[in-house]
C-alpha cells in the first residue's frame, strides 16, 4: 500500500526529543497567561501528583512534540487531548449509559496517529502508577492500538450512516469484560452514579424554598467578581438557540451561577454552572466553559471557526455518537471574534461553549478503575477511539494502513513507553520549577 511505502508503520515506534525542544515549564507558563490567575496554583498542584497527572495538564507540550513524529497522511476530527481520563460514560437522552470520549476542549482536525499516541502514553503511565511492570504497562498500549485496528476494520465495511449511528452501550461493554472483579466494580459504579445524576449531584439546595447552588470548596465556589461575565454569556446563548430549543429553554429562568474547577488541563479557564428553574421548581443545570485555541492549532492548522466554542461543539457533534441537545456556543462582552491575545482576565472577549452539566463521577467510570481492570478498559478505549475517528476520517484508508494491527500496535507500544519516559523527565523538571519558586502550586 502506498501509505506504508511512504510512512512505514514501524517508524511510529520512535521518539527522541528534537533539537531546540521548548522548555515544558515555559510552555505551561505561557499557556497560563490568559487564565484566571488565582486558580493556576490549583492546576499546578494537581499536576505535581504524578507523571500521569502532569501529562493531563501538559497537552500543549505533547502537541508540539507530536508535530515532530511521523504521520501517514489520513486526518480525522481529533480529540486533541486523548488520555484515558477523557473517556467515560454519560446518559443518553433516553437515559441509557453510553461510553465515549467526553472532553473536546482541544478538538481539531489532525493526523489520526496523534490521538492514539497520546492515549497509549496515558495507559503506560497509568499502568506504572498502579504498580504494573513496564512490560505489562506497554501491553496496555499495544492492546488499545490493536483494538483500534480491529474496530476500524469492522467500521470500514459499514455504510457512513451505520458508522454515524453506532453508540457504545456501557452496560453491554461491561458484560464483555474478561476480568470478573472489573465487571463487578464497573456495574456498581454505574448504578450508583446514574442515581446521583437524577439527584442533581448534590449541588442544589432547596431548603430556603428558592433553589440555589451549593459551594463545595475548593472545587465549586462563588467568584462574585466574575458573575456578570457568566450571566451575560448565558443570556447570549439563550438568545441564539434554534427556534425548537428556544421553546424549551424559554420555560426556564436562570436562578443562580457558581464557578467550578474542572479537570487538570482546563483549570484556570472560566467555567461555571447555571441553575435554571421553572416556576414549578423543575430544574436544569447547564455548564458554561471557556474555549481557547486548541493546543493542536499551531501544528495541525487553525480552526475554520472564529468562535472557539463553535470549534468545540462541532468537534463533539462529529465525534460522539449521541450528543447533548443543549450544546451551543456564545461569548462574553466584546466582539464574538475577538482574538485570544486581547481577551482580558476579567472575562471580556472570551468565547464559551455550553452543555448540560455532566456528572464528573459518572464520566470518570472510564478512569476510576483498578489495575485488574486496566486491560479491559484499554481494549474499550481503542474501540471507542476508532469509532470516533471513523465518523470523520476515511475508515477504509486508515484500516488499510494499520492492517490487522500487530505491527502498528507494537510501534504504538514502543512510542508510548518512550514518551512516558519523556513525560517523567518533564514532570521532574516541573517539580524542580515549583521547588525553586518559578511557579506556585497550592490548593
pLDDT beyond 50 at 337: no
254 shares its domain with 344: yes
Structural domain span for residue 297: 203-363
Output the pLDDT for position 22. 95
Which value, to the nearest 10 degrees, does the dihedral of the CA atoms of residues 74, 353, 385, 120 take? 90
pLDDT at 185 over 90: no
Residue 340 pLDDT exceeds 50: no
67: DSSP letter:
T
Close Cβ partners of 194 (under 8 Å, ≥ 6 residues apart)? 91, 97, 362
Q: What is the pLDDT of residues 384-435, one digit of tens each?
A: 999 999 999 999 999 999 998 789 999 999 999 999 999 999 999 999 999 9
In a domain, 443, yes or no: no
Domain boundary among 363, 389, 412: 363
On whether both 144 and 293 belong to a single domain, the answer is no
Per-residue model confidence as pLDDT tens digits over 121-152: 999 999 999 999 999 999 999 999 999 999 99
Q: Over the stretch 368-387, which tens digit does the pLDDT of each residue have?
A: 667 788 999 999 999 999 99
With a cut of 70, say whether residue 155 has pLDDT above it.
yes
Cell digits of residue 9: 508503520
Q: Give me the percent of the chain exceeding a pLDDT of 90.
A: 63
- CA pair distance 359, 89, nearest whole angstrom: 9
What average pLDDT does the chain have?
88
Domain check: are 333 and 383 in the same one?
no
Contact 405, 149 (CB under 8 A): yes
Looking at residue 383, its pLDDT comes to 96
**Residue 254 in grid coordinates:** 436562570
**Tally of domains in the chain:** 2
Mean pLDDT of 61-79: 97
Whether 341 and 348 have beta carbons less than 8 Å apart is answered as: no
Q: How many CA atoms lie within 13 A of 40 on its CB side?
A: 15
Specify if 61 maps to a domain. Answer: yes
pLDDT of residue 3: 83
Residues 414 and 271 in one domain: no
* 153-157, 237-241, 320-324: least confident range: 320-324
Domain presence at residue 441: no
440 domain-assigned: no
188 Cβ contact list (under 8 Å, min separation 6):
none
Number of Cβ within 10 Å of residue 333's Cβ equals 15
Q: Is residue 442 part of a domain?
A: no
Whether residues 165 and 19 share a domain: the answer is yes
In three-state secondary structure terms, 204 is strand
177 is a domain residue: yes
| pLDDT of 339 | 40
Is 38 a residue whose pLDDT tops 90?
no
Residues 151 and 284 in one domain: no
Measured from the Cβ of residue 26, the count of other Cβ atoms closer than 10 Å reads 12
CA–CA separation, 351 vs 333, rounded Å? 10
Whether 368 is covered by a domain: the verdict is: no
Residues 269 and 153 in one domain: no
Q: Are residues 319 and 209 in the same domain?
A: yes
184 and 223: one domain? no
User: Is the domain of 178 the same as that of 215?
Assistant: no
How confident is the model over 232-241, as a mean pLDDT? 92
Domain boundary among 333, 363, 393: 363
pLDDT of 431: 98
- Give CA–CA dist 141/378, Å, rounded: 7
Residue 200: per-residue pLDDT: 53
Helical H segments across 391-438, by residue range = 395-402, 406-435
| Position 286 in a domain | yes
Q: Based on the fold, state whether residues 143 and 22 are members of the same structural domain.
A: yes
Instruction: Among 336, 363, 390, identify where a domain stops.
Output: 363
pLDDT in tens, 191-216: 766 655 555 556 787 767 778 888 88
Average pLDDT over residues 297-302: 97
Q: Are residues 359 and 223 part of one domain?
A: yes
Decide if 129 contacts 50 (C-beta within 8 A): yes
pLDDT attached to residue 91:
72
Amino acid at each position: 500500500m502506498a501509505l506504508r511505502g511512504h510512512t512505514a508503520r514501524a517508524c511510529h515506534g520512535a521518539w527522541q526529543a528534537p533539537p531546540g525542544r521548548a522548555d515544558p515549564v515555559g510552555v505551561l507558563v505561557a499557556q497560563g497567561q490568559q487564565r484566571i490567575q488565582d486558580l493556576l496554583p490549583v492546576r499546578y498542584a494537581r499536576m505535581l501528583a504524578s507523571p500521569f497527572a502532569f501529562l493531563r495538564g501538559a497537552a500543549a507540550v505533547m502537541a508540539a512534540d507530536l508535530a515532530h513524529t511521523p504521520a501517514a497522511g489520513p486526518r480525522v476530527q481529533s480529540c486533541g487531548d486523548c488520555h484515558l481520563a477523557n473517556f467515560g460514560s454519560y446518559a443518553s437522552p433516553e437515559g441509557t449509559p453510553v461510553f465515549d470520549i467526553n472532553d473536546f476542549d482541544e478538538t481539531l482536525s489532525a493526523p489520526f496517529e496523534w490521538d492514539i499516541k497520546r492515549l497509549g502514553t496515558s495507559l503506560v503511565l497509568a499502568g506504572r502508577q498502579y504498580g504494573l511492570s513496564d512490560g505489562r504497562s506497554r501491553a496496555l498500549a499495544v492492546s488499545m492500538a490493536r483494538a483500534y485496528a480491529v474496530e476500524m476494520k469492522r467500521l470500514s465495511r459499514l455504510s457512513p450512516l451505520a458508522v454515524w449511528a453506532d453508540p457504545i452501550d456501557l452496560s453491554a461493554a461491561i458484560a464483555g469484560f474478561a476480568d470478573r472483579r472489573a465487571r463487578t466494580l464497573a456495574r456498581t459504579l454505574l448504578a450508583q452514579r446514574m442515581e446521583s445524576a437524577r439527584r442533581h449531584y448534590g449541588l442544589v439546595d432547596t431548603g430556603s424554598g428558592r433553589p440555589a447552588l451549593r459551594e463545595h470548596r475548593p472545587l465549586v465556589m462563588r467568584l462574585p467578581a466574575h458573575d456578570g461575565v457568566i450571566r451575560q454569556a448565558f443570556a447570549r446563548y439563550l438568545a441564539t438557540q434554534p427556534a425548537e430549543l428556544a421553546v424549551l429553554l424559554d420555560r426556564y429562568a436562570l436562578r443562580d451561577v457558581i464557578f467550578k474547577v474542572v479537570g487538570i488541563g482546563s483549570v484556570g479557564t472560566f467555567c461555571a454552572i447555571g441553575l435554571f428553574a421553572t416556576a414549578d421548581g423543575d430544574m436544569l443545570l447547564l455548564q458554561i466553559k471557556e474555549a481557547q485555541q486548541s493546543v493542536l492549532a499551531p501544528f495541525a492548522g487553525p480552526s475554520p471557526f472564529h468562535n472557539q466554542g463553535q470549534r468545540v461543539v462541532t468537534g463533539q457533534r462529529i465525534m460522539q455518537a449521541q450528543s447533548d441537545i443543549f450544546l451551543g456556543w456564545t461569548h462574553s462582552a466584546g466582539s464574538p471574534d475577538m482574538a485570544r491575545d486581547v481577551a482580558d482576565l476579567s472575562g471580556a472577549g472570551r468565547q464559551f461553549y455550553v452543555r448540560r452539566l455532566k456528572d464528573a463521577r459518572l464520566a470518570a467510570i472510564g478512569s476510576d478503575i483498578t489495575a485488574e481492570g486496566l486491560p479491559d478498559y484499554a481494549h474499550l478505549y481503542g474501540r471507542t477511539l476508532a469509532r470516533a475517528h471513523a465518523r470523520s476520517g476515511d475508515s477504509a484508508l486508515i484500516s488499510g494502513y494499520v492492517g490487522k494491527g500487530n505491527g502498528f500496535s507494537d510501534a504504538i507500544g514502543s512510542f508510548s513507553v518512550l514518551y512516558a519516559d519523556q513525560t517523567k523527565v518533564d514532570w521532574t523538571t516541573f517539580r524542580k520549577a515549583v521547588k525553586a519558586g518559578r511557579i506556585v502550586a497550592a490548593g
